[in-house]
Amino acid sequence: MRAETKLLSYAKPYWHLFVLAIVIVLVSTYVEIMPPRIVKDAIDSYINNQNIPVNDRIAGVIKSGILFLIVLILRFFLNYGNIYLTSYLGAKIVYDIRRDLFNHVMRLPMSFFDRNPSGRITTRIVNDTQNVQEFFTTVVTSIIKDIFLLGGIIISLIQLSKILFIQLSYIFPIVIASMILFRYFDRKVYRMVRTNLARINAFLAEHIAGVSVVKIFNAEEQKKKEFDNIAKDYYKSLIKQLYVFGIFRPFMDFLYFLGLSLIIWFGAKYIMNKTIGFGALYAFASYLDMFFAPLRDIAEKYDIVQNSMASAEKIFNLFKENGEKLGKPDGKKHVEKGVVEFKNVWFSYDGKRWILKDVNIMFAPGYLTAIVGETGAGKTSLMNLLNGLYVPQKGVILVDDIPLQEYDLKSLRREIAVVPQDVVLFSGTILDNIRLFDENIPEEKVLEALEKVYAMDIVNKLEKGIHYEVVERGTTLSSGERQLIVLARAVLFDSKILVLDEATSNIDVETETRIQKALRELSKDKTVIMIAHRLSTVKDADRIIVIHNGQVVEEGKHRELLKRRGVYYKLYEVQFEI
């Protein structure tokens, strides 16, 4: 389905408002055509008419002036109504698109987010939808109005003087030809501008995010040169677009003045021959000016249309992305025990390189289980599979002896709490972040969760305690404080399965001790899985699973694994230089 058709499907619920807007546009167009006719009648019927008494001529001019004023007032209110209505329509349609797009993005699988940077997704939801809104508010009714206005002007010109219109009509083919040429060249340079602008945005997003690396390696001068080259390409494309605009608009002015010259040249003869009156000549010149007004703006409107259609195409391409498979909506919704088993699991992110190879592991409540391995061994991938964020190519994952895909995954994820290394906190209070803005959960329950993770004293030291205001991503809190808050969240929601993914890698010893103590208590009746890189954090685990090159190579307690002098021993040797 084309982008235009999809846009119309979003506009369909508001068709009655569009009809009203078109009616207002038609009335507004008729009203805008009236002033030259009123002036023409005032000049020819009263000012230059020597056949009626002076008092009647003055009364006629006053009458024309009052009518002219009424038309101007009516024109003001019609334009106001048109602008208000189209702006309202644009805002409503884009609200619907933006809401549906965000909801759709939330349903997409993790593989989509692996392929698409967050900046690009944000641009689709914010910037591209804004471009579509501009199309509805600025272009749609404006194009309809321009079409009817041009048609009304041509009819009025013919009614005023057919012979003068014929002599003027030679410039119309030139106007049409110039518009076709403009459209061709503008489309060409517009694509160049958009491509180079996208290059600038991508460069900025990448290098501002990695500015610390640039500074550490003193690469500022090199990056300045790279940015300068990209910016120059963008500048050159803008100059090319300027050439197109710089030729088109003055050429339209040239054609206007050429037409005006023809009107004066031939009109003067017809006035002398008394074929037409001076008022008709004035009206003819006014209508010519009105005829070229929308043509002068067509360049800007055409760019808006191109921009909007390009944005709409990107938006609806995003809508085409297949949503995440969430198991069976009517499947099992609750975890009874929390026993997790990986059976012969093979997994690859790209279908080319295996991250996990024939993995067989079982996790059960009552044990604190740790997973260790070098970077890239596949530790985090195990947990992503457990959450159903990815689906293994081979093998099966069981929870309480039931395959993962037999569950309603949305419900299952409520039973699995994850404490990641890079903790995400939202703007709000600590209380809001622990209960995830669910005001049905009483404050007392939150305090109990903080007590269970031994974080109550730390929170009480903060200004306003659990009502401390957290800024975006919790940057005013230490890494350890953020980890404890997220751990308290997991305890509050009473998840049967708790996963810590490198959660203790960037925290101080005191906070690590608190987390270890809390995990020992939680593991008595929950399935607790601790992914770690620092082996010092897993020494007291009931069971340590060693992952190497995507395979389970060792399993046992800390001292047992050291005695084997295998992969675990080598990792320990590297970290502690024994």
pLDDT higher than 70, residue 507: no
Cα–Cα distance for residue pair 14/213, rounded to 1 Å: 51
CA dist 275 and 268 (Å) reads 10
Report the side by side order of strands in the sheet with 356-363.
356-363, 340-347, 394-399, 402-403
Beta bridge partners of 501: 531
pLDDT in tens, 430-441: 888 888 888 888
Least-confidence region, from 4-18, 100-114, 341-355, 474-488 = 474-488
Q: How far is CA 235 from CA 202, 206, 228, 232, 465, in A?
A: 16, 21, 10, 5, 53
Sign (positive or negative) of CA dihedral 230, 234, 240, 243? negative
Question: What pLDDT, on the 0 to 100 scale, is given for residue 473?
Answer: 63
**From CA 79, how far away is CA 85, in angstroms rounded?**
10
Q: What is the pLDDT of residues 40-53, one digit of tens each?
A: 888 888 888 878 88
Q: Is the pLDDT of residue 157 over 60?
A: yes
Q: What is the pLDDT of residues 556-576, one digit of tens each?
A: 988 888 888 888 888 888 777
* Strands 368-372 and 543-548, bridge-based pairing: parallel
Interval 386-402: pLDDT, tens: 888 888 889 999 998 88
Residue with tokens 């309202």: 88
Express each pLDDT in 305-323 by its tens digit.
877 888 888 888 888 888 8
Instruction: Judge whether residue 214 has pLDDT over 70.
Output: yes
Q: Quick one: pLDDT at residue 516?
A: 81
Q: What is the DSSP string of 181-250?
A: HHHHHHHHHHHHHHHHHHHHHHHHHHHHHTHHHHHHTT-HHHHHHHHHHHHHHHHHHHHHHHHHHHHHHH
Residue 577: what pLDDT?
58
The reported pLDDT for the residue numbered 72 is: 92
Q: Are 40 and 282 in contact (CB under 8 A)?
A: yes
Q: What is the pTM of this model?
A: 0.71
Average pLDDT value over all residues in the chain: 84
Cβ atoms of residues 22 and 78 within 8 Å: no
Q: Is the pLDDT of residue 191 over 80?
A: no
- pLDDT for 106 beyond 70: yes
- The pLDDT value recorded for residue 323 is 81
The model's confidence at residue 131, banded by pLDDT at 50, 70 and 90, is confident
pLDDT exceeds 70 at position 504: no
Helix (H, G, I), strand (E, B) or coil at 522: helix
Q: What percent of the chain has pLDDT over 70?
A: 97
Model pLDDT, residue 67: 92
Per-residue pLDDT for 70 more than 90?
yes
Residue 66's pLDDT is 92
Structure tokens at 79: 């334009």
pLDDT at position 330: 78
Q: So what's the pLDDT on residue 195?
A: 79
> How many residues can be counted in the chain?
578
Helix boundaries (H) for 507-557: 509-522
Q: Of the ranges 32-41, 417-426, 519-528, which one carries the lowest mean pLDDT score?
A: 417-426
Please tell me the predicted confidence (pLDDT) of residue 1.
53
Residue pair 194/310 in contact by the 8 Å Cβ criterion: yes
Highest mean pLDDT out of 14-28, 369-383, 525-539: 14-28
| Contact residues for 313 (Cβ-Cβ < 8 A; gap 6+) | 3
The whole-number average pLDDT for the span 115-126 is: 80
